[in-house]
Amino acid sequence: MPTCLFGGGMKRYLSVLRLFWSTAIAAELEYRLNFLIATLSSLGSLTGSLFGLFLFYRTGYQFQGWGWEEALVVLGIFTLLQGFSATLLVPNLNKIVTQVQEGTLDFVLLKPISSQFWLSSRVISPWGVPDLTFGLVLIVYAGNRLGVGLGAYLLSLIPLLFGLISLYSLWFMLGATSIWFVKIYNVTEVLRGLLEAGRFPIAAYPVAYRVFFTFIIPVAFLTTVPAEAMLNRVEWGWILGSGLLSVILLQSSKFFWRFALRFYTSASS
Amino acid sequence: MQRRGRIVRTLLSVYYAYMVEYRAELLLWVLSGTFPLILMGIWAQASESGLLTFQSEEFVRYFLAVFIVRQFTVVWVIWEFEREVLEGKLSAYLLQPIDPVWRHFFGHIAERFARLPFAFILIALFFWLYPQALWVPSPVGLGLGLAAIALAFSLRFLMQYTFALCAFWTERASAIEQFWFLFYLFLSGMIAPLEMFPDAVREAVLWTPFPYLIYFPASLLVGLPVDPWRGLFTMLGWGAFFFLVNRWLWRRGLRQYSGMGA
């Protein structure tokens, strides 16, 4: 039914998404033990991060302008982002390379929906849920101790959303380079390694690092800016910058994908 | 003995050629080990406050040494072994008159040599950007440090290979490694030199194998005071333990193994 296939727009994408995710979750639930392992890992990772932060604060040192609880908010947002990437980014974008390698990208391109959408949302993995939960718990715990109001939480959602979009776009562009370089799995590892910097507020770094993590790899926009919004001390310029960045990166990711596809020589042709 | 030498040489040259083929990928792996460099920035900044016992340069040197040690002790045998067991490829290797572990072991060693130039370029770049941190390790420290790196690599390989053998029983043996890696990440000295840990924690951690994988060799390289004998014996002790478990699992595992063609 061509009208139905090509006309549905947004609604059609939503129903496709529901199908994708229900099958993916059904498949993942076959491995329930993995979920336990993911929870334990997530808990261990959080404990380790807290320990790492504690090593600084136990000496009486503070990241400039960031008390213990405030630094916890940053760590909570970082954990949240980790959960997000484990839920959506890793299971989808890190598989683009397999599609290229095995030539199955052909089938994706033939489907009557946006190939970028298909590649970015085909699978959802419940493995990120523990990280999402612990991240939220940490944020709410620290937020309560700091007396963060509902309005501030809601305000921080705006830069957080921008941050998620930026993160997705960067990750997708790196994944898309696998059109040229097949063994690219580790490009995203490089990005992930650099994103680790988001565990700490950007003020904790020396000047050169701050410049790098704001303008080259926008880590500052991913965790520090949303945290500052939550603490009610963000300047609107930063939120605006964050929004601008996400729009630019998202658009670039679209252009980049179209550009990359021109170089795709499929397995069958 | 002569036959052994020939096998080693063949495996090394084959895997070296293989690794050099994937130079670009290798460079990316080198670059993905930036975690110590990130922490270097934070600790160097923190030391400006004067509240810590270390100077900023000491932190910079320490974390650079951590970066170097990390580069030469990277191990991934569990992912390869897991795949071989799950896909039944192990069967073919079992037919050969050599324990399959050597294939992995020399693959790792050959990769070190292929990685060497990248690591050197990065280190040179680093000192060019930040000449104040330049230091020359004492000959003794350098010798001990290199020996410790070799030992640390062997121990880490042995531990991971032991976990890898669980692939005979479970589909995702790598999950064990991922969990173990958390301890490695936070207790090995990668996030901070052990001097920064609370005393009680440090004393406890020094009995585990983790600090000897990174903190110990890195400290020898930059000349922080560590007890080389204690390091040696702890590593040998844990090595012996994992070796016994490893051989036991291997024998039991082969009986269990029912991969394609086995």
d(CA A227, CA A221): 10
Q: How far is CA B52 from the centre of its chain?
A: 28
Residue range A109-117: mean pLDDT, rounded: 84
Distant-in-sequence, close-in-space partners of B72: CB < 8 Å, separation ≥ 6: B112, B115, B119, B149, B153
Q: Which of residues 20-39 of B touch A (CB under 8 A)?
A: 22, 24-25, 28-29, 31-35, 38
**Structure confidence by residue, pLDDT tens digits, B4-19:** 889 889 889 988 888 8
Predicted confidence at residue A3, as pLDDT, reads: 39
**Structure confidence by residue, pLDDT tens digits, A129-150:** 899 999 999 999 999 999 888 9
**Structure confidence by residue, pLDDT tens digits, B162-186:** 999 998 888 878 888 888 999 999 9
Q: Which two tokens stand for residue A41?
A: 């890992």
Determine the residue among A64, A209, A222 to mutate to test chain B binding: the one whose Cβ has the most chain B Cβ atoms within 10 Å. A209
Which residue in chain A has the smallest CA separation from B22? A183
Q: Do B24 and A189 touch (CB under 8 A)?
A: no
Nearest CB to B172: which of A34, A186, A190?
A: A34
Residue range A86-108: mean pLDDT, rounded: 82
Predicted confidence at residue B152, as pLDDT, reads: 96
Tell me if A28 sits within 8 A of A90, measured CB to CB.
Answer: no
Q: Which of residues 185-224 of A touch B (CB under 8 A)?
A: 186-187, 189-190, 192-194, 196-197, 200, 204-206, 208-209
Q: Which two tokens stand for residue B15?
A: 């895997």
- Residue B185 sits at the chain A interface (C-beta within 8 Å): yes
d(CA A155, CA A175): 31
* Residue range of the domain that includes B52: 2-256
Q: Do A190 and B45 touch (CB under 8 A)?
A: no
Q: At what angle do helices B174-187 and B77-87 cross, to 10 degrees?
A: 170
Q: Do B172 and A205 touch (CB under 8 A)?
A: no
3-state secondary structure chain B: CHHHHHHHHHHHHHHHHHHHHCHHHHHHHHHCCCHHHHHHHHHHHHHCCCCCCCCHHHHHHHHHHHHHHHHHCCCCHHHHHHHHHHHCCHHHHHHCCCCHHHHHHHHHHHHHHHHHHHHHHHHHHHHHHCHHHCCCCCHHHHHHHHHHHHHHHHHHHHHHHHHHHHHHCCCCCHHHHHHHHHHHHHHCCCCCCHHHCCHHHHHHHCCCCHHHHCHHHHHHHHCCCCCHHHHHHHHHHHHHHHHHHHHHHHHHHHHHCCCCCC
Of A53-67, A194-208, B83-97, give the lowest mean pLDDT range.
B83-97
User: How far is B260 from chain A, CA to nearest CA, in Å?
Assistant: 23
Please indicate, yes or no, if residue B262 is contained in any of the structural domains.
no
DSSP annotation of A196? G
Predicted confidence at residue B3, as pLDDT, reads: 84
Q: Do B198 and A60 touch (CB under 8 A)?
A: no
Query: How many domains does chain B fold into?
Result: 1
Contacts of B179 in chain A (CB under 8 A): 37, 40-41, 44
Please indicate, yes or no, if residue B75 is contained in any of the structural domains.
yes
**Structure confidence by residue, pLDDT tens digits, B222-246:** 988 889 999 999 999 999 999 999 9
Residue range B80-89: mean pLDDT, rounded: 88
User: How far is B10 from chain A, CA to nearest CA, in Å?
Assistant: 25
Label residue B260 by pLDDT band (50, 70, 90). Answer: low
Predicted confidence at residue A7, as pLDDT, reads: 46
Residue range A118-123: mean pLDDT, rounded: 84
Report the largest interatomic distance among the alpha carbons of chain A, rounded to a whole angstrom.
Answer: 68
Q: Is the pLDDT of residue B106 over 90?
A: yes
Q: Which two tokens stand for residue A131?
A: 């990280």
- Residue A177 sits at the chain B interface (C-beta within 8 Å): no
Q: Is the pLDDT of residue A76 over 90?
A: yes
Q: Do B28 and A186 touch (CB under 8 A)?
A: yes
Residue percentage of chain B with pLDDT more than 90: 53
Contacts of B32 in chain A (CB under 8 A): 186, 189-190, 192-193
**Cβ-based neighbour number of residue A234 at 10 Å:** 21
Nearest CB to B46: which of A47, A56, A190?
A: A56
Segments making up each domain of chain A, as ranges: 7-261
User: How far is A211 from chain B, CA to nearest CA, in Å?
Assistant: 12
